[in-house]
Every structure is written in structure tokens, then in C-alpha cells.
Amino acid sequence: MSDPIAELRATLAEAINAAGGDASVMDRVALDPPKDLKFGDLATNAALVSAGSSGLPPRDFAAILGKELEAKLGDSLASWDVAGPGFLNLTLGDAWYLKAAGSVVEAGGQFGSGGSRDLEKVIVEFVSANPTGPLTAAGGRHAAYGDSLARILEFHGNTVDREYYINDAGAQIQRLGLSIIARANGTEVPEDGYSGDYIIELASQIPGAADEEPAEVAQAGIKILVAGIASTLERYGVSFDHWFSEATLHGPDGSSQVTKTCDALQRGGHAFSEDGALWLRTTDLGDDKDRVLVRSDGEPTYFAADIAYHADKLSRGERLIDVWGADHHGYVARMTAAIAALGEDPARLEMVIMQFVNLVEGGTRSQMSKRRGDFVTLDDLLDEIGVDAARWFMLQRSHDTTVDLDLDLARDSSAENPVYYVQYAHARAFSVIAKAGVGVPAIPMPAAELHESEKQLIRRLVSWPAEVAEAATRRAPHRICAYALVLSQEFTAFYRDCRIIGATDTERDFRLVLAAAAQAQIATALGLLGVSAPNEL
RNA sequence: GCCCCCGUAGCUCAGCUGGAUAGAGCGCCGGCCUUCUAAGCCGGAUGUCGCAGGUUCGAAUCCUGCCGGGGGUACCA
């Protein structure tokens, strides 16, 4: 597939070579629209970065590069000049714009896809909320992030598995079982149990809950709760390839995966016994204290099971991405150490730490605790503001910044949400194409001199592949939100300045092509966010 | 104490593997519906980029130290 910016970069690299420089520095070479368009359509620091290898002053080297590009690009390059310490400013000709627009249109919705340098099998594990209650609004941030990241990585060319780790073992499950039984008997839940009203509802759905064993009641409860979580996620547009049960790692005897993993760690010399417990010496591998694998009562810890789980994932994927809540950041060092102790490269596991979502209502933050049953569910949030606004709102901020989600604002002024602006731009594009009634020509026709709004739109459209790469490699879906917004603004400016209906045939055809390209790209961007792109609002 | 995240416009935040006069949304002020969707468009005001040093031709961006806010620091999961 042809990528106009990538082609320009390749030409620039050739020019650097031809000028006697070292093109191996291309990774550090920028080729972007400058902030101020008076500097040209694209500016590059190529000479500043590569002049050293040529022995020439940057400005002189930039001038040589300019001449080389002039020769190679012909009428695609209208003019160039050297500025400041050695920037090379390029003004592109209409010929380049027409060709670039053609490339975008030709690729359609696939434009910008498949650009990943190393195509990896990636396992993204996210949400993995404990199945002890419904999914919370905060869980909606993890779900939106993980799912969108998975979509972006796939679009970028990777194979991605979405995975949910069900913590259906351990002490909290015991607490859940006891809580359900208490409710079934009409009594209060234990001190450290789950007191939310949903437990009462749950108890009524489990026949004979009052008299069963806690473990069995808990498993029945988990089954119902997981089904509920899955159904909420489905509504939210999120689906998983695997629902991995922690319980399957534990076994009745010494043959369980957890036991095998602990054995392997001992054989590797990283585990030791002390105070009746089995420890992993993570301090040898960068952690600040050693961690227990098997408690003195013989029960393996959550950590031990998690190591077994990651060992399993390492056998299935080249790269693992875990999306965790900020309250788990202390877990990063020990998990990294554990991967190393397994004899694997810790770099294969990335842990993305999501900062919190605060729900703000009436100007005060509401604390959320699943244990107390005091929380807003994701379903409630979706009832209030809808899937599109919820996903956009959760995704528009970087994962490492805390989000204040103002419920009053989300409820009362959803029309001000930028997501509607983007959807509106998409609908407008669809509408104007339909209204023109002549279809969309396959190849852009040469128009009269291009309008600045047309050029700006094309510059934006061709920057999509780089933006996708950036969002993928930096694990940053929020960049796609920002991109979609800017693209929509620039489409809207084009829509305002370059009327389609009433223009000459050649102008109309070219503009239809641009409108179609913009519509396709907005739809693609929204698709990566899991937000719908309706044809009319 | 130690560890992680944040501190940029009135508010919420982009920008952060260094680049030319620092951006968006919302809010605020003033205009625009006989013409492709007014869920829109146009114009305007608003900043010691937390503070202090350092590196650099160049720092919101990198380094060091402080200050402020949030979170974590279990033989819980």
C-alpha cells in the first residue's frame, strides 16, 4: 500500500545519501507540518540531525538536501527554503496533493493499516475484574482501553488475543460464598463479606443456597456474575477471545500448574523456604522484598497462581500486555522478577497501569467500593450517557492521568461531548456525497488550484499511518481521539470552504473524493475506539 | 521512609524518545440559519508550561533537587 509520507521520507533518505550524509539517522528525522504554515507544508530537521556525518554546517547541508529533493521530486515540490539553525521547509505542489489524495482513497478504510515493523502475537489481558460483583464504571475505563488498544494493534498488523483472567479461587471466593449464604438465610453478611444488595438478588437465583457448601455456592454465584459481566461488556462492544479461569491452574494434587510452576522456580534456584512458607527471591531480580509463593498453611498465594498464568501466556504469545489498575502498580516489580525467574525475557511482559476514574456528582467525589456495594455500575453509566459517549470519555485521556467523570455533566450536556462533533462530521460527509447524487469517482480528477482547506485536509489524511503507529507503539488510544477530533475539524473547514454541490464538475469530483476519504478515515478512527459512525444524526 | 502517577488557559486535559510566536474541548464575550445536517460556523479574551538549578545551538519536553495533589507499600486478591 502506498503511503505518501513514507514515500517522501524514503526520498529524503536518498537525498541525504546523495548529499554525502548518513541516512541511518532517519529514525530521528522528523517530517511534519510546521506549526506555522508560513514555513511551508512540511518541515524537516533532517539536516540538523545528519549534517554531522557530512562535515558541513547544518544550513549548508540543508541547502544541498533541498537541491537533491528538487531534482527527485519534480513538480511535486513547489519550493523549499532553509530556515533557522538548519530546518528545511518544503512547499509541496498540487501534483503531490493530487497523488497523495489518490493514495488515500485507493486504500479506503485500510489506509494506514498493517504498518507494524515487527508483527507480533500479542495477548492483551484487561478488565479481569474480580467476579464478586457487577462491573463498575471504573471497570469501563479498563474495558474501553484494553479493547481499543487491541483494535489498534490489530489494525497495525499484529495478531491479538483479548483475555480476561477470572479470579475464581482464593479467600475472597470463600467470602463471597459465605455472603450469599448469609443473604439466603436472611442474615447479615460476615464482617469482611460483600454487603451489596446484588448479593440478595444473587442468593435468590441459586436454589438451595442457604444449605450448600460455601465453595459450591460461590462457584454458582461466580457463574452468574461472570455471565453478567460478559453481557455488560458485550453491550459495551467488548468481547474476549479467552476467559481464563484461575481455578483451572489449581488442582487437587501436586499436578496443578501452580505446583509445577513453583517446582520450576525452585529448580531454577530462585525459591527458598523460610518460616514454613515458600518464597521467591525477587530481590535478586529488582524487587524490594521477597514474596511468598506458598503460605505456611500450604495454600499457594495469588502471586504463585499469577506466575503460572503468565507462564501459560508466555507459551501462547510473543508479547503480553497486562492492563492493571493503579492500585496494582506495586505488583509490577515482583511480576517482572517472576518472569525473569522463569528464565524468560521480562521485556516480553508490559504492564500498563491505568489511573483511577473518580465519579464526581454534585461537586463531590464518590468513593467506590465493591465490598460495600457502594458503586456505580457500568450498566448504570451506559444507561445515563450511552456506549459511544462512555467509550469516548474513558478513552480521550491518557491512561496515566486520573479521570474525573462528572456524572452531572455527562448526563445533562452529552450534546457537548466531542464524540458527537466527530460523528456529526462523519454524517455530514455521508450526507453531502449522497446529496451530490453522482457517486464518488475512483480517481481524483485534476482540479483548478487547490484551496488551502483542501490541502490541509489532505495533509491530515496522509498523517494517519504515522498516527496509528504512534498510538500502537505507545499503547495510546487517546491519541486516536485527538486525531479524530482534529480530522473532523479540518473536514468541517473543508466542507465550509469548498462547496461540492454547485461546483464545476472537476472540482466537485475531486471534492467528493476528499469527502469520501475523510468519511472513511473518521469511520476507521471511530472504529478503533469502538465508537459508532452513523450516517445520519 | 521507599515506589508509581499527576502539577500546562477559569475548568477538564492534549503536547513530553528536544526544535521555530505553547494547543483542544468546555466555559466566557460578540456575530451567523432563503444556499451541501445550526448536534454547526466565524471572530475575540485568557498562560511565571508547580519552583530552582543543570545539559543543549535550542527545554513544557531530558537530568538533579525541592514543593503540592493522588495512589501503593499483606503469608488479600
Question: How many Å does it take to go from CA A494 to C1' B42?
Answer: 14
Question: How many Å does it take to go from CA A47 to C1' B44?
Answer: 40
pTM, 2 dp: 0.95
Mean pLDDT for the stretch of residues A38-42 = 88
Mean pLDDT for the stretch of residues A9-34 = 87
Q: For A370-412, how does the pLDDT look when each residue is reduced to its tens digit (9 = 90+)? A: 444 456 889 988 988 889 999 998 999 999 998 887 777 777 6
Q: For A403-450, how does the pLDDT look when each residue is reduced to its tens digit (9 = 90+)? A: 887 777 777 666 678 899 999 999 999 999 999 988 888 777 777 789
Measuring alpha carbon to C1', the residue closest to nucleotide B5 is A400
Instruction: Check residue A412 and give its pLDDT.
Output: 65
Please spell the DSSP secondary structure of A76-142, one letter per residue: GEEEEEEETTTEEEEEE-HHHHHHHHHHHHHHGGGTT-S--SS--EEEEE-----SSSPPBHHHHHH
The pLDDT > 90 percentage for chain A reads 69
Distances (CA, A) of A455 to A129, A155, A212, A442, A446: 47, 26, 71, 19, 14
Q: For A210-257, how does the pLDDT look when each residue is reduced to its tens digit (9 = 90+)? A: 989 999 999 999 999 999 999 999 999 999 999 999 999 997 766 899
Instruction: Check residue A1 and give its pLDDT.
Output: 52
| Pairing verdict, β A357-361 and A291-294 | unpaired
Three-state SS string over A136-172 comes to EHHHHHHHHHHHHHHHHHHHCCCEEEEEEEECCCCHH
Task: Give the residue carrying C-alpha cell 507459551.
Answer: A315
Please spell the DSSP secondary structure of A393-447, one letter per residue: HHHSS-TTS-EEEEHHHHHHTGGGSHHHHHHHHHHHHHHHHHHH-S---SSPPP-
Question: How many Å does it take to go from CA A493 to C1' B41?
Answer: 9
Whether A156 contacts A472, CB under 8 Å = yes
Q: Is A533 exposed, middle or buried (0-12, 13-18, 19+ CB in 10 A)?
A: buried
Question: How many Å does it take to go from CA A267 to C1' B76?
Answer: 28
What span, in angstroms and rounded, lies between the C-alpha atoms of A127 and A142? 5
Whether A353 contacts A399, CB under 8 Å = yes
Question: How many Å does it take to go from CA A307 to C1' B1?
Answer: 29
Strand order in the sheet with A87-92: A31-32, A42-44, A87-92, A77-83
Nucleotide nearest to A496 (CA to C1'): B41
Nucleotide nearest to A246 (CA to C1'): B77
Instruction: Check residue A137 and give its pLDDT.
Output: 86
Top-confidence residue, A118 or A201: A201
The pLDDT > 70 percentage for chain A reads 95
Residues with Cβ within 8 Å of residue A2, at least 6 apart in sequence? A103, A106, A107
Q: Which nucleotides of chain B does any protein CB come within 7 A of?
A: 2-7, 12-27, 35-37, 39-42, 57, 69-77
Task: Go through A190-209 and write b for each residue having 16 or more CB atoms within 10 A of its CB, e for each that does not.
Answer: eeebbbbebbbebbeebeeb
Nucleotide nearest to A404 (CA to C1'): B12
Q: Within 10 A of A165 (CB to CB), how many other CB atoms are there?
A: 23
Cell of A369: 467500593
Nucleotide nearest to A329 (CA to C1'): B4
Q: Which ipTM score applies to this complex?
A: 0.94
Whether A469 contacts A502, CB under 8 Å = no
Nucleotide nearest to A297 (CA to C1'): B75
